[in-house]
């Protein structure tokens, strides 16, 4: 069961998929105390535009299960926008994160390989 309030995530808490390019264009994932934060590392850490998607670890694991089976339903949505992709929580109450196709493909490769599973943190 996650803590009642999400923890503060530090820069060192975030990791990227091994398939990500070293140029800093990646989906970053942090897990701690039953919570997950997703961010775009194209933004400076802690800056005003450093938006995060914050959800419970269980919700993120359900999203990973959906992506692994080719599904698009789950608590996190990845939507094609023509010039790239947008990631947002299903309830649309949060920020959106914008990524290129290459960034999303690297992230999903990490999901398939189990790189963001709770046992890896």
Contacts of 33 (CB under 8 A, 6+ apart): 2, 3, 6, 7
pLDDT recorded at residue 10: 97
Give yes or no for residue 80 having a pLDDT over 80.
Answer: yes
Element (H, E) at 37: strand 35-40
> Does pTM top 0.85 for this prediction?
yes
- Nearest CA-CA partner of 1 in 41, 69, 56, 75: 56
| CA 3 to mean position of chain CA atoms | 19
CA distance linking residue 22 with residue 44, whole number of Å: 15
DSSP 20: S
First-residue to last-residue Cα distance in the chain: 16
CA distances from 63 to 23, 56, 59, 71, 92 (A): 26, 11, 6, 9, 15
pLDDT of 24-51, one tens digit each?
789 999 999 999 999 999 999 999 999 9
Residue 98 structure tokens: 């914008």
Give yes or no for residue 1 having a pLDDT over 70.
Answer: no
pLDDT of 70-79, one tens digit each?
877 678 999 9
């Amino acid at each position: 069961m996650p803590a009642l309030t999400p923890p503060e995530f530090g820069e060192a808490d975030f990791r990227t998929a091994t398939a990500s390019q070293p140029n800093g264009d990646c989906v970053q994932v942090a897990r701690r105390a039953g919570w997950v934060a997703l961010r775009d590392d194209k933004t400076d850490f802690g800056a005003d535009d450093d938006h995060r998607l914050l959800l419970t670890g269980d919700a993120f694991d359900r999203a990973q299960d959906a992506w692994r089976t080719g599904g698009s339903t789950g608590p996190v949505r990845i939507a094609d926008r023509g010039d790239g992709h947008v990631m947002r929580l299903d309830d649309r109450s949060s920020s959106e994160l914008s990524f290129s196709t290459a960034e999303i493909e690297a992230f999903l490769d990490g999901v398939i390989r189990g790189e963001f599973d709770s046992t890896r943190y």
